[in-house]
């Protein structure tokens, strides 16, 4: 049995996107009654994605489309959690550029309205050109 079916492109895809949004025929074969069988490459692909994002699942045990969707959602959730953690660390250590700090603060700690307002303010500043830096004069 081959254990080296993942290519550099597959690993790069996992790093950049997690898992594919649809059913890739080189990874899984769908049956008529919503059953799914992972190919050997598919098992390696999903096992690598689970290890990369810390998802405890056994891809080889998948039997239907719903279980594959649940695995996909678990990996997507883990990717979002990791991105939020990295963003929080960058914000806390001052690695966010000054023009983006208000937007990042709103995304991490703000309400829906505050996130929308910060996004609109950042967009206006970008449209105004490189000589404009958004400043929030309100004390938080």
The 3-state secondary structure of 104-116 reads HHHHHHCCHHHHH
Runs of H (alpha helix) within 1-140: 8-17, 40-53, 65-92, 98-109, 112-128
Percentage of the chain lying above the pLDDT 90 cut: 64
**For residue 51, how many C-alpha atoms fall within 13 Å in the half-sphere facing its CB?**
7
pLDDT in tens, 91-135: 999 899 887 888 899 999 999 999 999 999 889 888 888 887 667
Q: Which residues contact 71 (CB under 8 A, 6 or more apart)?
A: 19, 46, 50, 55, 57, 59, 62
pTM over 0.85: no
Q: pLDDT, tens digit, for every residue of 26-38?
A: 999 998 888 999 9
Give pLDDT, residue 140. 55
Q: What is the domain partition of the chain in residue ranges? A: 1-95, 96-140
Cα dist. 70→51, 56, 58, 76, 77 in Å? Answer: 16, 12, 12, 10, 10
């Amino acid at each position: 049995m081959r254990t080296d079916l993942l290519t550099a492109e597959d690993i790069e895809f996992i790093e950049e996107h997690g898992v594919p949004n649809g059913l890739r025929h080189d990874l899984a074969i769908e049956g008529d009654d919503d059953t799914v069988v992972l190919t050997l490459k598919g098992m390696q692909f999903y096992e690598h994605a689970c290890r990369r994002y810390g998802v405890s699942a056994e891809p080889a045990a998948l039997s239907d489309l719903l279980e594959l969707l649940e695995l996909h959602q678990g990996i997507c959730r883990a990717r979002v959690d990791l991105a939020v953690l990295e963003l929080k660390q960058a914000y806390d250590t001052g690695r966010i550029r000054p023009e983006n700090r208000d937007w990042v603060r709103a995304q991490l700690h703000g309400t829906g309205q505050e996130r929308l307002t910060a996004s609109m303010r950042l967009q206006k500043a970008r449209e105004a050109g490189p000589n404009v830096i958004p400043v929030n004069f309100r004390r938080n």
